[in-house]
Amino acid sequence: MLGGEVGKKGESPWQVVVLNARGNFHCGGVLIDRNWVLTAAHCLENNLRFGVRLGDYELLRKEGTEVTLTVVKAFKHPNYNRDTVDNDIALLRLQTPAPYNNYIAPICLPGQAMAERVLHLNGTTTVVTGWGKDDSGKYSSALNVIKVPLVNHSVCEQQMFPHTISENVLCAGILGQKIDACEGDSGGPMVTLYHGTWFLVGLVSWGEGCGQIDKLGIYTKVSNYNDWIRKVQEEWDKTNNLQGVSASSRRSV
């Protein structure tokens, strides 16, 4: 994160560390129920095997709250386009259910209508978290936080020209200020507080460099994918004879 600050331990209990096959930090992710993590599809490009670490805060220090779980299957969105980075979303199925506690909890997924009506408005303050590169160009050891407002689509298209800005993304940032997600933050959550509940609105997707003062950060608009998320979960449950198991633990409003 550029222009971020160190968050408090436990205030982003849905934050996930996505690990590569060697067990090293690879990307961010977000816990949406006991069995499933969302991340960016571009995080899956060069790796076949993944793990996740939940309840982490200081990456380089064991704190006793971390839980490392194996990912049994990764589902990249079928229409993910690596050239335009459209549909930059993926689901990770965990081998064993996440244990909920003060440091591990799922984020709420808003329904699409609610998200469009009240969460995606121009100027809405969002919170983005991650361990990505900071102002010094190094990865952060403690979980960093930035607060950035959503910026409407037409302004985003002007600022990000000649890149195509699809309807599947949200844009955020403060023009003239270096507050932005960066390399290593990909796949991590963009959340917003509404009536006392934190909702997931975006996943860190891409930008032009990091923190360029005339550019904005681009985030996958998660509510556009609610049907796909549900379909992948239901098909997994059906294939593995788990009907109804995860339906009760899904949090969608």
Give the catalytic positions in this structure: 42, 88, 186
Distances (CA, A) of 170 to 24, 120, 205: 29, 8, 10
Take residue 213 and report the two structure tokens written for it: 């003062």
| DSSP code string of 27-62 | EEEEEEETTEEEE-GGGGTT-S--EEEES-SBTTS-
Helix, strand, coil percentages (3-state) for the chain, rounded to 5, are 15, 35, 50
Does residue 78 have a cis bond before it (omega within 30 degrees)?
no
Take residue 81 and report the two structure tokens written for it: 């386009």
Are the C-beta atoms of residues 77 and 41 closer than 8 Å to each other?
yes
Are the C-beta atoms of residues 145 and 197 closer than 8 Å to each other?
no
User: How many CA atoms are closer than 13 Å to the CA of 100, on its beta-carbon side?
Assistant: 10
| DSSP code string of 194-234 | ETTEEEEEEEEEE-SSSS-TT--EEEEEGGGGHHHHHHHHH
Q: Which residues pair with 19 in a beta bridge?
A: 25, 51
